[in-house]
């Protein structure tokens, strides 16, 4: 993991001691993201707002980085920009990255809110890839307020269905949980049931972590909740670092236990993300990377044929 890496970097969410992810790299073909989620944290550190743009010389830099990384460590796409953010439909940088990485047998996690991922099924199904779909609610109106630039929830679930029925392991991220918006037990039960029907194997969940800019967007989208959110986060919540507030631990644990029980009811494994409650997890990894197929498929670059190589 040298300094000279350019587009692939060790995943390191601000050295957050609450992160329990196994070691992995992060790779984003784009800077910023066009899904414009109300709760998104990237606007607090990426200048230019929700204006996704391709990274310059992305493919050249990717090829250079791939010579330096450890090939058995998962590459996660992406953590500060959806790999299927709107310009991807036109520019195809994520597809290009998959075309390069999959034949090398690399282990890949795709995290998305977009049904566009289905476009790349021909590649994904051949590789060591798992896909994690973030779906926060089945309610189209709320989803539009929360994630105005992303495809509606049912489209994401249909995409999950297509992928999982083709043998691609999928997880659902119910992240973030926003009290009073998507935390009704019956709503969550319906969401998890639908995700299980669509082939999800694992549920990852986390409560909303407030930052000043995302809190303003949530208050704008849900004006009736503005005062309650200010009270729950800025007055009664836990300030975990400069300009980041969590809900009180007891409230977070109650919400996460509810999601956990609903996931287990459907036979899905469960884990929390950055909550400091690893005892709630029922899977080997929190982020679902244990679902990545364990065999390595390598393309013979001379004959362009696939061969399966067992690691063990």
By CB under 6 A, tell whether 202 contacts ligand SF4. Answer: no
To 10 degrees, what angle do helices 58-66 and 93-101 make? Answer: 20
By CB under 6 A, tell whether 274 contacts ligand SF4. Answer: no
97 vs 296, beta carbon nearer ligand SF4: 97
Say if CB 261 and CB 268 are below 8 A apart: no
Q: Which residues contact 229 (CB under 8 A, 6 or more apart)?
A: 210, 215, 218, 219
Q: In angstroms, what CA-CA distances link 103 with 68, 129, 304, 308?
A: 17, 12, 9, 11
Say if CB 11 and CB 26 are below 8 A apart: yes
Q: In angstroms, what CA-CA distances link 181 with 122, 221, 226?
A: 37, 11, 12
Tell me which of 8, 24, 36, 151 binds ligand SF4, using CB under 6 A: 36
By CB under 6 A, tell whether 217 contacts ligand SF4. Answer: no
Q: Is 299 exposed, middle or buried (0-12, 13-18, 19+ CB in 10 A)?
A: middle
CB of 35 to ligand SF4, least distance (A): 4
CB of 134 to ligand SF4, least distance (A): 7
By CB under 6 A, tell whether 91 contacts ligand SF4. Answer: no
By CB under 6 A, tell whether 142 contacts ligand SF4. Answer: no
Q: Which helix (H) or strand (E) holds 121?
A: helix 121-124
Tell me which of 35, 142, 217, 274 binds ligand SF4, using CB under 6 A: 35
110 vs 296, beta carbon nearer ligand SF4: 110
By CB under 6 A, tell whether 130 contacts ligand SF4. Answer: no
> Token pair for residue 15?
């050295």
Q: In angstroms, what CA-CA distances link 76 with 261, 269, 300?
A: 27, 20, 24
Footprint (CB under 6 A) of ligand SF4, residues 45-84: 80-82
Rg of the chain, C-alpha, whole Å: 19
CB of 80 to ligand SF4, least distance (A): 6
Tell me which of 21, 40, 110, 232 binds ligand SF4, using CB under 6 A: 40
CB of 178 to ligand SF4, least distance (A): 13
By CB under 6 A, tell whether 173 contacts ligand SF4. Answer: no
Tell me which of 113, 194, 202, 217 binds ligand SF4, using CB under 6 A: 113
12 vs 266, beta carbon nearer ligand SF4: 12
Residues that bind ligand SF4 in the complex, under the rule CB under 6 A: 33, 35-37, 40, 42, 80-82, 113
């Amino acid at each position: 993991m040298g300094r000279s890496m350019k587009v692939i970097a060790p995943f390191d969410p601000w050295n957050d001691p609450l992160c329990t992810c196994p070691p992995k790299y992060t790779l984003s073909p784009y800077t910023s993201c066009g899904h414009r989620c109300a709760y998104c944290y990237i606007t607090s550190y990426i200048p230019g707002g929700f204006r996704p743009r391709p990274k310059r010389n992305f493919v050249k830099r990717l090829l250079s980085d791939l010579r330096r990384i450890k090939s058995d460590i998962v590459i996660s796409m992406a953590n500060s920009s959806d790999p299927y953010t709107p310009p991807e439909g036109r520019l195809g940088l994520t597809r290009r990255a998959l075309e390069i990485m999959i034949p090398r047998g690399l282990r890949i996690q795709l995290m998305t809110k977009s049904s566009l991922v289905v476009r790349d099924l021909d590649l994904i199904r051949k590789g060591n890839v798992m896909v994690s779909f973030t779906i926060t609610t089945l309610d189209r109106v709320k989803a539009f307020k929360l994630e105005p630039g992303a495809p509606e929830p049912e489209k994401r679930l249909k995409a999950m269905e297509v992928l999982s029925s083709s043998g691609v392991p999928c997880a659902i991220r119910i992240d973030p949980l926003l009290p009073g918006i998507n935390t009704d037990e019956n709503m969550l039960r319906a969401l998890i049931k639908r995700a299980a029907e669509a082939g999800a194997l694992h549920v990852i969940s986390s409560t909303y972590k407030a930052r000043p800019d995302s809190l303003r967007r949530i208050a704008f989208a849900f004006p009736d909740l503005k005062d309650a959110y200010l009270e729950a986060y800025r007055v009664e919540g836990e300030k975990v670092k400069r300009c980041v507030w969590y809900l009180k631990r007891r409230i977070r644990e109650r919400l996460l236990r509810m999601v956990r029980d609903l996931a287990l009811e459907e036979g899905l494994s469960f884990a929390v993300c950055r909550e400091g409650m690893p005892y709630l997890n029922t899977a080997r990894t929190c982020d679902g990377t244990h679902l990545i197929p364990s065999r390595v498929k390598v393309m013979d670059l001379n004959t362009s044929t696939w061969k399966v190589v067992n690691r063990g």
